Structure 1
Amino acid sequence: MITIHITSASKVGCVRSQNEDMVLVGNHFVRNDGFKTRVDLTNSDRYLVAVADGMGGHNRGDVASSDALHNLQFFFHDLPTGLNPGGINEMMVGWLDSINNIVASKGRSDEQYKGMGTTLVGLAFYEGEFYSLNCGDSRLYRFRDGELTQLTSDHSLSNMLGSSQHSNIITNCIGGGCSTSFIDIVKITADVKAGDVYMLCSDGLTDMLPDHILTTLLTNGSDANNLCDAAVAAGGLDNVSCCVLQF
């Protein structure tokens, strides 16, 4: 039995007129709200948490992030049993093609949706195995023994060039005009330990709070709502969303 205490929050911030982020926790969707729960998992269970940061299309990134998470939730729970990591990867690549087509087709049929897209970062539990999922520049972190470690790599121009001058330009996402989207899928089961804290977040959190501040907040027991409030207090220049999982 694996027990996880989960908190999540998603806030509009101080500048944006609407929240284009969304968080998925199990079967619960979070936007402009907070949510907390406890889950007890056995090897026969499936569970998914994810953060999507929408963008573009006349501010209809809210539609892209919602479409991606609702579609992913249905897809994940509809997966056949007995898949190995290679099978999971193959199915996820197929899902990415499908959701890209869905998002793009909305843009072709209605001008207000043209160019909309979303990032996606997730942590999935499938038949006893944990997988990280990443498309874009939202992030998954592990906090262990006072040390914060980023587990995903940003699909961004600044990361490619090794500079912070283009921090808001992403090179990969769902929709958004990307014709060659990809998703990083990594089995991380062997690295998950009791006492670990995992955090998923949009860049609205990490742009406002550097790693040393996040480390201090997590050391002091901050939950997702506390972290989002701290990012808003620091300026809240973007929508801010996160999910904190205590194993």
Structure 2
Amino acid sequence: MNNFVGLSKIGLVRQRNEDRFFIDGNVCAVTDGMGGYSGGEIASTYAVDEIREYLASLEPVGQQDLCDAIIHANQRIVNRVASEERLAGMGTTAVVTAIKDNQLYWASVGDSRLYIYRDGLLRQITTDHSMVQELLTAGEITKDEMLSHPQRNLLTRAVGVDEVLEVDSGIESILPGDRILLCTDGLSGYVTDDVIASALQSSDDNMMVVESLMDTVYEVGAGDNVTIVVGTI
């Protein structure tokens, strides 16, 4: 594994960036906060800090470790909200990955996404915990219609909202040359998977891919904060 890079930028219509990410050896995470005042920023920062610290002492990091790290962060945020009324309603997405040999372990809550790109094909690994995903699953809207649906920002699950949290997780087999992409909905909510795939196809330089996708998001108005992490196996 090499060459993991990331970038986070404030959207054109936002006053603060509530996205966070970290790349720590073979572990990566992306979070996207929500909530009034500075709540979203606090929740997303808490989440990446707590997840990073929780996993730092573990070697190797496995699937259950990623779930446990998110659950740990969830409890810390719930406790913080309980002690500060002004933070009520804050929460965050979280998608976390770890690589060991030819396995990619992942865990996810919310609508930040994990993709794997291989041989020209982009595959979404995580499933959004969102209202529009439920509509898509029910066959009421298409994947393209998710991008413009008025309820596209409504989450059905988030870190820091409830004491009990269900975390999605899994294991994917990976091959040399695979590209891994994590992102917030500032990317996936404004550009199609085809656009993401084209950017990955266009260059082997991961930072060039990240910057190209950022440019595309800004060209369509950057309606949300944007965070993208890309790496090559």
Fold agreement, TM-score > 0.5:
yes
TM-score of the two chains, using structure 2 as the length reference? 0.85
Report the Cα distance in structure 1 between the residues aligned to 2:180 and 2:102, rounded to whole angstroms. Answer: 17
Residue 179 of structure 1: how far off its partner (Å): 4.3
Could you say if the C-alpha distance between residues 127 and 63 of structure 1 is closer, same or farther in structure 2, counting changes exceeding 3 Å?
Answer: farther
Q: In the alignment, is the contact (CA less than 8 A) between 1:119 and 1:136 conserved in 2?
A: yes
Cα deviation 1:167-196 (Å, max 9, x = unaligned): 211111101x334321112122xx211111
Q: In the alignment, is the contact (CA less than 8 A) between 2:179 and 2:232 conserved in 1?
A: yes
Could you say if the C-alpha distance between residues 134 and 94 of structure 1 is closer, same or farther in structure 2, counting changes exceeding 3 Å?
Answer: closer
Cα deviation 1:188-232 (Å, max 9, x = unaligned): 2xx211111110000000112111111211111242232122212
Q: Which residue of structure 1 aligns with residue 192 of structure 2?
A: 210
Residue 66 of structure 1: how far off its partner (Å): 0.9
Aligned residues: 218
**2:180 is aligned with 1:198:** yes
Q: Which residue of structure 2 aligns with residue 67 of structure 1?
A: 46
Q: Which residue of structure 2 aligns with residue 183 of structure 1?
A: 167
Report the Cα distance in structure 2 between the residues aligned to 1:240 and 1:51, rounded to whole angstroms. Answer: 10
Report the Cα distance in structure 2 between the residues aligned to 1:93 and 1:227, rounded to whole angstroms. Answer: 29
Could you say if the C-alpha distance between residues 82 and 225 of structure 1 is closer, same or farther in structure 2, counting changes exceeding 3 Å?
Answer: closer
Q: In the alignment, is the contact (CA less than 8 A) between 1:106 and 1:114 conserved in 2?
A: no
Cα deviation 1:19-64 (Å, max 9, x = unaligned): 00011111xxxxxxxxxxxxxxxxxxx6211110011132421111
Residue 129 of structure 1: how far off its partner (Å): 4.2
Residue 94 of structure 1: how far off its partner (Å): 4.1
Q: In the alignment, is the contact (CA less than 8 A) between 2:66 and 2:107 conserved in 1?
A: no
**2:96 is aligned with 1:111:** no
Residue 15 of structure 1: how far off its partner (Å): 0.4
2:86 aligned counterpart, secondary structure: helix
Cα deviation 1:43-98 (Å, max 9, x = unaligned): xxx6211110011132421111111111111111223x578x6xx42x44444443
Residue 128 of structure 1: how far off its partner (Å): 6.8
Report the Cα distance in structure 1 between the residues aligned to 2:119 and 2:66, rounded to whole angstroms. Answer: 32
Amino acid at match of 2:108: N
Q: Which residue of structure 1 aligns with residue 213 of structure 2?
A: 227
Q: Which residue of structure 2 aligns with residue 16 of structure 1?
A: 14
- Any stretches of 5+ residues in structure 1 without a counterpart? 27-45
How many percent identity over aligned positions? Answer: 31
Report the Cα distance in structure 2 between the residues aligned to 1:11 and 1:47, rounded to whole angstroms. Answer: 23
**Residue pairs, 1:3-152, within 5 angstroms:** 3-26=1-24, 47-79=26-58, 88-89=63-64, 91-126=65-100, 129-152=103-126
Q: Which among 223, 227, 230 is matched to residue 241 of structure 1?
A: 227
What is the aligned-residue RMSD (CA, Å)?
2.1
Report the Cα distance in structure 2 between the residues aligned to 1:82 and 1:245, rounded to whole angstroms. Answer: 19
Residue 126 of structure 1: how far off its partner (Å): 4.8
- Any stretches of 5+ residues in structure 2 without a counterpart? none
**2:144 is aligned with 1:170:** no
